[in-house]
Amino acid sequence: MNMNKGGIVTSGLSMMTFAQAGDGASVETFWIWVALFALGAVGVAILFISSQQTHKMQLMHQTMLDKQLQMEKNQNILLTNMSENIHNMAKLAIEKVQNNPNNVTSSLKYGGEILVNVEHRLLDVTNDLIDFLRLKSRKIEIINEEFNINNVLNELSGSICSEFSGSHVELIFDIDKNIPRRLIGDSLHLGQILNSILGHIMNQPNLDEVKLEISMFDTFEAGGELQFQFVDMSAGLDAEALNNLFIPYYDEKSGVYVGLGLFVANELLGMMSGELSVQSTVGRGSTYTLSLPFDVVEKANLRMYRLPDKILVEKKVLIVDNNYNSALAIKKMFAYFRHEVKVLSKEEFGKNIPNLTPYDIVVLNESLFTPRLVEYFSKIKLGKDLKVIALNSLLQSSKKSFVNEVIDVYLFKPLNQERVFEMIVNMYDIKSSVYVPEEKKEVAKRVQTHKTHIVETKGVTQNSFKDFAGKHILIVEDNIINQKVLINLFHLSGVNISIASNGQEAVNIVKSGKVVFDLVLMDINMPIMDGYTATQMIRLDSKFDALPIVAFTALVLDSEIQKMFNSGINAFLAKPLNVGKLYTALSTYLLDTPVVKVQEKEAQPTEKISYTGINIEDGIKHSNNSEALYMEVLKEFMEAYGQSDAIFEKLVREHRYEQVRMLCVDMRGLTATIGAKDMHVLISEILQQILYKKYELLVNYKEKYVFEIQTLNKSIQKYLSAA
């Protein structure tokens, strides 16, 4: 029994032990389940958070994709419809003229100004397109040569004022007195950069004032850093607009193409080791600051402008302008010559005209002249040599000036130091080394001089220039695009063309005697030696007294044109190129037949030739209706994208789909611009496949791409050979 009892006891102990053991196992299992549940909850939470983040990432990705697609759309619209909006502006201008029978004269004037501005802007867009293509094919070179900074600024103001004629914007050049006259750098591309930035600013809505501040900072050795700062009083740019500033796009709201010129300018600036920064505040305007390294010529010569006679210095000067900031900038230029300068606001002057007797020079905005003030000036002039200067804006120069004998000089803003220097010398009739000696002026007059504007001959085509076959013409021009456009214009005419890229080259070519030239087409703003000096150097040799020299330049001020004639120029043509006016100028000096008879000629109809894959008429229309310019666009397109089939095949083979997309975005706009519609349709199909990420289908387009681009190349070559 004990045994049984012992057995029972033993058995009870065993059951107790197992029960206790079972309780421990249950606790452990419980905690395991708790831990698993907790891990599960954490996992669910992580999955939930991850899902939310993934959703956000997808939204962000979609937003970025939408923006990218919109950007592509904008860029495509820019290049595809490059001239459509601008021609619409012309149409609206014409309609405005037609719908205003009550004031036909003013309406025609308004329409004429708009149409001129339209031509300038379309030409600018076409030139920017050529530079875009040249950048793509890496053909643009930076050439550092000696140049006159004032010629760059004069051409800048001339180009801008021609493009924005009639604008009420106050354009100010505020130039520090330490800016050297001559520098070493790339003057051509500097002018292009400044023109693109200023042109962009001038297109801003509700703009009242733009100031260009130019400063010089020493760097090392003979070098210096030139800072150009554009400060505008516009509505300003928000953060998104700033980020997209250098991406070409079409602003559908305002109907204006924006950014192609800025894109090219920014690329050129980088090639010139320059920097550009833009700050903007909405409602308060923007500031564009660009810095460029230049070498300084004659750095030790701190005073680059020396008046030729002591009687010209230390004058008492009064300046009153409509814009006070403009008056302060002009004060700085007069003060350079040790003049004692006082500035009054328009309001101060209008309330109480001060005693003007103590002053030697009075500079007044033209709007301030009244019969009473003119009478006051007349009385003062009876007792002393008072110089009266009428100040106006070059942007408003098309308006009728206030003409009165009391005014000694008409001065047009924006100004630079050299123009003020020359004005003072001319105003006091003091001889300066800047001008040709009087006896040489008389000799130069042996060649017929046309000081009036050249009249356009209507109906001129490329065939018209065959009238000058066998003649030898020297084109003096530093802009390669302008050189090529002129060469294209003459290439079937039988005219013998020589090219000089600066004034010094022109002098050397003319004086070498290897070619006896019948005419010289002379640019003015060039590096090394400008057109003024080159003309003077040619005229020093009496052998060339009968050589006609025609200025072809963007400089438009009367004082600049007069300076050309003083240098020995025989006639003046304003840029951009007008083939009708060029024909008139050439016929004046190269033909015995009067121009009026030439004008009676009718252009002979030419047989239209069709070219597979390209519409020539559409392409010419997109190139400012200039066949010579269109031919240059086609040549640059061939250089940049004529071999793109090999690139396309390589990118598809290596699955580099982003690069394929970038290539096709460029090609879609460019093919539409040059009139290559078949290629344009194919490119649009490829982009659609990329848009829907059907990358596996791209391989099917390789042969099609090769066929279309080669067909296009053959048609372009055929056209260029036959043109």
Q: Is residue 76 part of a domain?
A: no
Same domain, 253 and 266: yes
| DSSP SS3 for 228 | strand
Q: Is the pLDDT of residue 64 over 90?
A: no
pLDDT in tens, 610-648: 789 999 988 887 776 778 888 888 988 898 889 999 999
In total, how many domains does the chain have?
Answer: 5
User: CA 690, CA 658: separation in Å to the nearest integer?
Assistant: 9
Q: What is the mean pLDDT of residues 208-217?
A: 93
Tell whether 199 and 114 lie within a shared domain.
no
pLDDT digits (tens, 9 = 90+) for 400-443: 567 788 999 999 999 999 999 999 998 987 654 444 444 444 44
Q: Quick one: 594 and 512 in the same domain?
A: yes
Tabulate helix, strand, coil % of the chain (nearest 5).
Answer: 55, 15, 30
The structure tokens listed for 383 are 């007792």
Q: Flag the least confident range among 156-160, 231-235, 666-670.
A: 666-670
Would you say residue 6 lies in a domain? Answer: no
Check: CB of residue 554 under 8 Å from CB of residue 158: yes
CB atoms within 10 A of CB 679: 25
Q: Give the residue from 405, 427, 449 where a domain finishes.
A: 427
Q: Which long-range contacts link 114-121 to residues 24+ away (Cβ below 8 Å)? A: 114/89, 114/90, 115/90, 116/162, 116/165, 117/163, 117/164, 117/165, 117/166, 118/86, 118/87, 118/89, 118/90, 118/93, 119/576, 119/624, 120/162, 120/163, 120/576, 121/86, 121/163
Residues 6+ away with beta carbon under 8 Å from 284: 236
Instruction: From 406, 427, 448, give the residue that closes a domain.
Output: 427
Here the tokens at position 521 are: 């087409």
In a domain, 31, yes or no: yes
Q: Where are the beta strands (DSSP E) in 408-528?
A: 409-413, 472-476, 496-500, 519-522
Angle made by CA atoms 548, 550, 553, in degrees to the nearest 5: 165
Looking at residue 331, which CATH number applies to its domain? 3.40.50.2300
| Token pair in block for residue 359 | 């002053």
209 shares its domain with 150 = yes
For residue 17, pLDDT beyond 50: no
Region 211-232: mean pLDDT is 85
- Whether residues 518 and 532 fall in one domain: yes
Domain presence at residue 604: no
Are 717 and 625 in a shared domain?
Answer: yes
Q: Are residues 135 and 167 in the same domain?
A: no
Last residue of a domain, one of 427, 453, 471: 427
How far is CA 651 from its chain centroid? 34
| Mean pLDDT value across residues 9-33 | 51
DSSP string across 350-389: HHS----TT-SEEEEEGGG--HHHHHHHHHHHHHS--EEE
| pLDDT recorded at residue 532 | 94
Q: Are residues 243 and 171 both part of a single domain?
A: yes
Answer yes or no: is 70 within a domain.
no
157 within a domain of the structure (yes/no) = yes
Q: Is 698 domain-assigned?
A: yes
Residues 171 and 245 occupy one common structural domain: yes
> What is the spatial distance between Cα 521 and Cα 532, in angstroms, rounded to a whole number?
13
| 15 within a domain of the structure (yes/no) | no
Identify whether residues 208 and 225 lie together within a single domain. yes
Least confident range from 90-104, 353-367, 453-467, 669-683: namely: 90-104
Residues 536 and 474 in one domain: yes
Asked if residue 103 has pLDDT above 50, the reply is no
Summarize pLDDT for 350-407 with one digit per residue, the tens. 888 899 999 999 999 999 999 999 999 999 999 999 999 999 998 876 555 677 889 9
Question: For position 221, which CATH number holds?
Answer: 3.30.565.10
Task: Supply 370's token pair.
Answer: 């009244």
In contact, 196 and 163? CB cutoff 8 Å: no
Q: How confident is the model at residue 522 (pLDDT cuts 50, 70, 90)?
A: very high
Euclidean distance between the first and the last CA atom of the chain, given in angstroms as a whole number: 132
Name the amino acid, one letter, at 456.
E
pLDDT, tens digit, 9 for 90 and up, residues 304-333:
778 878 888 889 999 999 999 999 999 999
- The β-bridge partners of 388 are 362
Query: Running DSSP on this structure, what letter comes out for residue 611?
Result: B
Residue 706 has pLDDT above 60, yes or no: yes
CA 273/CA 631 separation, integer angstroms: 32
Range of the domain at 204: 142-296
Say if CB 647 and CB 663 are below 8 A apart: yes
DSSP β-bridge partners for residue 520: 474, 549
Mean residue pLDDT of the chain comes to 80
Same domain for 421 and 492: no
Nearest to 205 by CA among 236, 170, 246: 236
pLDDT digits (tens, 9 = 90+) for 263-311: 889 999 999 999 999 999 998 899 999 999 998 887 665 557 788 788 8
